Amino acid sequence: MAKVHFFYSTMNAGKSTALLQSNHNYKENNLNTLLFIPVEIGNSSGGKIVSRIGLEASAISFNKEYKFYKNIKNLKKNTSCIFIDEAQFLSRKQVHDLSKVADKLNIPVMCYGIRTDFQGKLFTGSAELLAIADNLKELKTICSMCDRKATMVVRLDDNGDVVLEGEKILVGGNERYKTLCRKHFREVTKLI
């Protein structure tokens, strides 16, 4: 029986690198995979999953209306694994759809994403994956202010100051976000 896996962390923990390495392992064994990336990310990356260390692979861009089960069923053609990058952007229904891919099509689904947003709140896709995934795996990184495990992320403005309000989704990298442990998140944001 295929399973749904959720690999989660803050930014800079190597989620995309781990996804691309796992995909490479399938490809090395002549197995077919399908890679997906949210359209918000795909538009800025040329439709590719790109890791900070320079690995990349082409992916199918999806929006909030994308129907995974229906499309994967039509694309199946001996697909051995499904990979989803930035899984926090999935809708609740899409997570359920992906679990249907594992349950009915017997294809493993590997989701990689951020657990919480810059206000310390769960993303919709992450919350649903935490609730129904068969396997949960935390990928670890360190706080940018100490040597403790980072579990939170803060958003920065153009001047490098912490932002406490705004749109839930704002695509960016190290120039826009900083990883922190809970203690430093509390000190910097006063949100918890």
Catalytic residues: 86
Write the DSSP symbol of residue 126: H
Exposure of 101 in the CB half-sphere (CA atoms within 13 A):
31
- Cα separation values, 149 from 13, 47, 143, Å: 10, 31, 6
Torsion angle (degrees, nearest 10) of CA 76, 109, 48, 62: 70
The 60-62 sheet, strands edge to edge: 60-62, 32-38, 79-84, 109-114, 4-9, 135-138
Q: Which of 50, 34, 33 is nearest to 42 (CA)?
A: 50
Rounded Cα distance between 150 and 98, Å, is: 28
Distance CA 11, CA 179 (A): 6
